[in-house]
């Protein structure tokens, strides 16, 4: 089972992400956006989007630093105070992201104008993201000190996958919630080309985080404006 989920599936899901991205880019280039709904509703979006993006981008930055240079994590964590600072910052940022995500889900499912333009892909994506954040927080809360064993077990596994010599022994004995977190992350990556997540490939992070708010119009092949008129 471990071999299937952590030895073969990573390649199947990565291939889905790559082929799907190329297909979407070549067949439907103008749909390449986050399809902002800011012009439909702005206030609740602000209270969800702001904590979500700041929380999740910084959490993922921590994951990426650990992946690129696990020795930096071990060196940083060698002093207990620094370990506590890293762990509590990760937890706080994860909780911030969870708050933002719940606010975004609430907005998407309760605001009629936004709901009318919500697809099944959007709902699936929100569920996958919720599972990702909840299992991440579960790891952080139930199994201390996650940053250390992330660098010691999860990172070597990810590196083994990326170097095409998968070694499932690194993750085989991790707790179920951690395995769910890792597998769900792969599902999430596979979903990127099929959802509004394609905006990852075009954002300019620096400008995105510091620029003033702006209203964005989006393009869709289907004419779906009658719903907006109906709910005015």
Residue ranges binding ligand HEM (CB under 6 A): 56, 59-60, 62-63, 87, 90-91, 94, 97, 132-133, 136-137, 139-140, 146-147, 150, 154, 158, 181-182, 185, 188
Smallest gap, in angstroms, from Cβ of residue 62 to ligand HEM? 6
Which of 35, 188 has the CB closer to ligand HEM?
188
Which of 126, 137 has the CB closer to ligand HEM?
137
Smallest gap, in angstroms, from Cβ of residue 226 to ligand HEM? 35
Q: Which DSSP state fits 79? A: S
Smallest gap, in angstroms, from Cβ of residue 159 to ligand HEM? 10
Q: Tell me the residue nearest to ligand HEM as measured from the CB.
A: 146
Between CA 106 and CA 68 the distance in angstroms is 35
Which of 13, 97 has the CB closer to ligand HEM?
97
Reported for 65-71, long-range contacts at CB under 8 A and 24+ positions apart, including other chains, are: 66/147, 66/150, 66/151, 66/155, 67/155, 67/158, 67/159, 70/151, 70/152, 70/155, 70/156
Smallest gap, in angstroms, from Cβ of residue 46 to ligand HEM? 21
Which of 93, 114 has the CB closer to ligand HEM?
93
Between CA 138 and CA 131 the distance in angstroms is 10
Between CA 5 and CA 39 the distance in angstroms is 41
Which of 15, 60 has the CB closer to ligand HEM?
60
Smallest gap, in angstroms, from Cβ of residue 222 to ligand HEM? 29
Q: How many other C-beta atoms are found inside a 10 Å radius of the C-beta of residue 206?
A: 8
- 195: nearest Cα among 29, 32, 11: 32
Under 8 Å between Cβ of 25 and 33: no
């Amino acid at each position: 089972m471990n071999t299937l989920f952590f030895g073969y599936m990573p390649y199947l899901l990565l291939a889905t992400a790559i082929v799907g991205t190329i297909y979407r880019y070549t067949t439907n280039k103008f749909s390449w956006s986050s399809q902002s709904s800011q012009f439909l509703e702005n206030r609740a979006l602000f209270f969800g989007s702001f904590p979500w993006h700041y929380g999740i981008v910084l959490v993922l930055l921590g994951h990426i630093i650990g992946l690129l240079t696990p020795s930096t994590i071990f060196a940083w964590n060698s002093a207990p105070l620094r370990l506590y600072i890293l762990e509590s910052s990760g937890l706080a940022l994860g909780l911030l992201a969870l708050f933002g995500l719940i606010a975004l889900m609430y907005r998407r499912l309760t605001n009629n104008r936004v709901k009318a333009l919500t697809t099944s892909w959007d709902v699936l994506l929100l569920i996958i993201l919720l599972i990702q954040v909840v299992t991440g927080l579960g790891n952080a809360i139930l199994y201390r000190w996650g940053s250390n064993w992330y660098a010691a077990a999860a990172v070597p596994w990810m590196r083994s996958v990326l170097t095409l010599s998968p070694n499932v022994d690194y993750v085989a004995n991790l707790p179920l919630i951690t395995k769910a977190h890792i597998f769900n992350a792969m599902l999430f990556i596979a979903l990127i080309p099929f959802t509004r997540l394609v905006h990852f490939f075009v954002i300019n992070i620096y400008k995105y985080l510091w620029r003033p708010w702006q209203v964005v119009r989006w393009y869709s092949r289907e004419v779906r404006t009658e719903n907006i008129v109906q709910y005015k």
